[in-house]
Amino acid sequence: MASLPPSPCSLPRDALYEILLRLPAKDLCRLRAVCPEWRSLLSDPRFVAAHAIRHPGPLIVAGYERPKEGIICDILDLSGRVVMRIPAQEGVRRVMSIQLNLICTEKRMTLDCQLLNPVTRAVCALPEGFAKEHAQKRGIFDHKVFLSFGKAPLTGECKVLRILDNLSDIRPKQLCEIFTLGGKDSQWRKKKAPEDIVYLGCCKSVVMDGIVYFLSYLDGCIASFNLHTEVWSKALHGPLSSLADGDSTLKRSWPHLSMATLNGCLVVVHHSEASIDLWFLMDLDKGLWVKQHSIPPIPISYRSVISPLSVLDDGRIVLMEMEGQGVIRTYNPRSNTLADIAVLGSCVAVGKTFYISTTLPLQFLLRLRPLVPAELLDLSLLKLLDFQLFSYFAV
């Protein structure tokens, strides 16, 4: 007769301690019911303190329109405490976007852009000028520039997508270009422009699973660019598109829409006088949107945008006011209440991360060579991206 498997309580306490320490808080809440020993361990203040250190929660990365006392970015914890300040490099005018734990900044005089690793302070300058097919266009100063970047899921390549608005034409027109970090090409490559003009403003675009999503000027639609195939997909109907037919009030609300990602879902945020509604895309193929939260109205300026950043283990949602006073808040769906955390001033880009305190030494990066994709073997690129590598291997 086969012996019975050992009881979960028969694990050595030190081994059990190390295993449980690695689990997220929401899983530990359920594991308290396994047996009295586990409940005792999980209730021990020393374990609670150690777990809090191991799982500090998301950190907020706030980028500014212009340097504030020489600071271009602040990294904060959820108490509002600034844990790191990122000084602006010479000539940097503003932060354009924050993704992949990297900060995209724009220079003041040339409008050239660069990617900055806030931990190592490594900088990757992006190519100047246009793609060769766009070389006949007017100067870069005649265009409004927007950059977004992410990883192609199949290859792991980090790609930068650039959309340029032609400000000098009577009829709006956009150009589309792409650049691969560590790739063989040293210049931007031309790509087909989006069929319909897309918004390039604050919180009008997000990156998720290798897809860059944009709010479109076409009423209620969302454009998307695949970083792997480097083509635009068919426009996706947003959550309010079917409601807006014949409703001029809703059509006027398109500028009050923004986008975010929460719990792995694409989210459209609709700002109105009555509420801030969060619509989650539950089924991409069916275009199924569900309004999961309706947040009480927040008094903000006309140009401000409320951007949801993350969902905490207790269900609260972290919100950031963009292009306004820069207030960080949490929303509690259970009590339908808001709580202010900190006031940062006007922010134009925001991101979140989990790791900032450790930088991988070059020797460790060299040992990682067999483990990382071939396109990341360039040491300068490794130095730029080691923030992500640390986050990946520290899990």
Q: Is 21 part of any domain?
A: yes
- Is residue 316 within 8 A of residue 324, CB to CB? The reply is no
pLDDT value for 67: 83
Model pLDDT, residue 1: 40
pLDDT digits 0-9 by tens, 189-223: 999 999 988 988 888 999 999 999 999 987 779 99
Q: How far apart are CA 382 and CA 388, in angstroms?
A: 10
In a domain, 341, yes or no: no
SS (H, E, C) 63-79: EEEEEECCEEEEEECCC
Q: How many domains does the chain have?
A: 2
Tell whether 31 is covered by a domain.
Answer: yes
Residue 387 lies in a domain: yes
Q: Is 34 part of a structural domain of the chain?
A: yes
Q: To which residue do tokens 């269900």 refer?
A: 315
Phi, psi of 315 (to 5 degrees): 95, -10
Distance from C-alpha of 115 to C-alpha of 181, rounded to nearest angstrom: 10
In-domain check, residue 262: no
> Residues near 391 by Cβ (< 8 Å), separated by ≥ 6?
101, 353, 354, 355
Radius of gyration, alpha carbons of the chain: 23
In a domain, 40, yes or no: yes
**pLDDT, tens digit, for every residue of 304-321?**
788 999 998 889 999 998
Statement: the pTM of the whole predicted model exceeds 0.85:
no
pLDDT for 384 equals 57
Within a domain: 46: yes
- Res. 64: pLDDT tops 60: yes
Residue 25: domain span: 11-53
Q: What is residue 162's three-state secondary structure?
A: strand
Query: What pLDDT, in 10s, does the model give residues 118-153?
Result: 877 788 899 988 888 887 766 655 778 899 999 998
pLDDT (tens digit, 9 = 90+) per residue, 245-265?
Answer: 445 444 444 457 899 999 899
Check whether 238 has a pLDDT greater than 70: yes
Query: Which pLDDT value is given to residue 109?
Result: 72
The whole-angstrom separation of Cα 348 and Cα 201 is 9
3-state secondary structure of 85: strand
